[in-house]
Structure 1
Amino acid sequence: MKHYLSTSAAAAIVLMGGIGTALAETVVVQPQDETVVREYVQKEPLASVNLLGVELKLGSPVPDRVELREVPNVRYRVAVINDQTVLVDPDTREIVEVLH
């Protein structure tokens, strides 16, 4: 019986550790960064790249063929894909925000 409880406790700890890791990897884009990006895209319109079969959601990778534009004073890069503006982590090329 003690072995069963130990296994359950160990499983709970592993699951909680996984949740902590997932939370640590969550990217938070500051509202002021979104504002700067929106203003930048209005002043410097970007051509939309049409990519069939690419799902624009958080964590989705952006193909190398998509040019990522640097925005002054913002860590993330911007691109317009399938007529939607996205913020992309330049290190991983993953979408961190889809602006609506």
Structure 2
Amino acid sequence: MRNLTAVAAGILLLAGIGAAAADTVIIQPEQDTVIREYVKKQPLASLKLPGVELNLGTALPDTVELHEIPNIKYRYTVIDNRTVVVDPETHKIIKVYD
């Protein structure tokens, strides 16, 4: 019975890890280059968002204006002088550039 419980717990743990990995967005090197070049050419005024930590997966408030990057599905903004790339569907941060 203990073995069955341990196996079930292991499966649930692995399922949780798989679900978390599925949420991870990976920006391909080509996209990274396009993003870096574009945001340099299109600087934005930096926003202050007290209480919002610039961590991967943090959802930005819907009130934050996100700006397009041509031919890239993601959007960007600048917060605390850091460029933040965001998934426009979830408003979650997927990349932070210093």
Scaled by the length of structure 2, the TM-score of the pair is 0.92
Count of aligned residue pairs for this structure pair? 98
Separation in 1 of the partners of 2:20 and 2:40?
A: 34
Structure of higher CA gyration radius: 1
Runs of 4 or more, structure 1, over 2 Å off, are none
Separation in 1 of the partners of 2:24 and 2:35?
A: 20
| Structure 1 position 51, deviation (Å) | 1.1
Separation in 1 of the partners of 2:46 and 2:18?
A: 36
CA RMSD, aligned part only?
A: 1.1
2:30 is equivalent to residue 46 of structure 1: no
Separation in 2 of the partners of 1:12 and 1:87?
A: 34
Task: Give CA deviations for 1:3-62 in whole Å, capped at 9, x if unaligned.
Answer: 111111111111111111111221101122222122112211111111112100100111
Give the aligned partner of residue 11 of structure 2. Answer: 13
* Secondary structure of the structure 2 residue equivalent to 1:51: coil
* Secondary structure of the structure 2 residue equivalent to 1:16: helix
Work out the percentage of aligned pairs sharing the same amino acid.
53
Task: Give CA deviations for 1:63-88 in whole Å, capped at 9, x if unaligned.
Answer: 12211000001111010011100100
Give the aligned partner of residue 60 of structure 1. Answer: 58
* Secondary structure of the structure 1 residue equivalent to 2:17: helix
Separation in 2 of the partners of 1:36 and 1:89?
A: 16
Give the aligned partner of residue 29 of structure 2. Answer: 31
Separation in 2 of the partners of 1:37 and 1:45?
A: 12
Query: Greater share of strand residues, 1 or 2?
Result: 2
